[in-house]
């Protein structure tokens, strides 16, 4: 009986982990190329690659250790993005900005 209960608990946890899409988090670091406030799209460049991320109402933006608004995202800043996939879209969970923006 104890083994059956343990098996049921393990299966319940495993099923709930796979039932919710977009729960696996990934990270991407680079330099902000641009932030479009209209579409809430953050473009981050890393070497010769570029990533596009969507800022949502639940996304957390940090300037150092301080919470900030998405409008604080400026080209030239270093950013570490934690995101989840929603279909083909990369949805930002947390964007941590460090350093001042550089001018081009």
The reported pLDDT for the residue numbered 23 is 72
Mean pLDDT (10-residue bins), the chain, 104 residues: 56 49 82 95 94 94 91 92 93 89 58
What is the pTM assigned to this prediction?
0.73
pLDDT at 30: 96
- What single string gives the DSSP state of each residue in the chain? -HHHHHHHHHHHHHHHHHHSTT-SEEEEEEEEEEEETTTTEEEEEETTEEEEEE--TT-EEEETTEEE-GGG--TT-EEEEEEEEETTEEEEEEEEEESPPPP-
So where are the chain's domains? 23-98
CATH architecture of 23-98: Beta Barrel (2.40)
């Amino acid at each position: 009986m104890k083994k059956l209960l343990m098996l049921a608990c393990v299966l319940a946890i495993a099923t709930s982990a796979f039932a919710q899409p977009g729960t696996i988090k990934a990270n991407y670091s680079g330099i902000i190329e641009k932030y479009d406030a209209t579409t809430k799209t953050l473009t981050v460049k890393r070497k010769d690659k570029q990533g596009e991320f969507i800022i949502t109402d639940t996304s957390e933006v940090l300037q150092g250790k301080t919470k900030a608004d998405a409008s604080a995202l400026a080209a030239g800043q270093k950013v570490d993005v934690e995101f989840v996939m929603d279909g083909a879209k990369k949805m930002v969970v947390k964007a941590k900005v460090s350093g001042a923006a550089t001018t081009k």
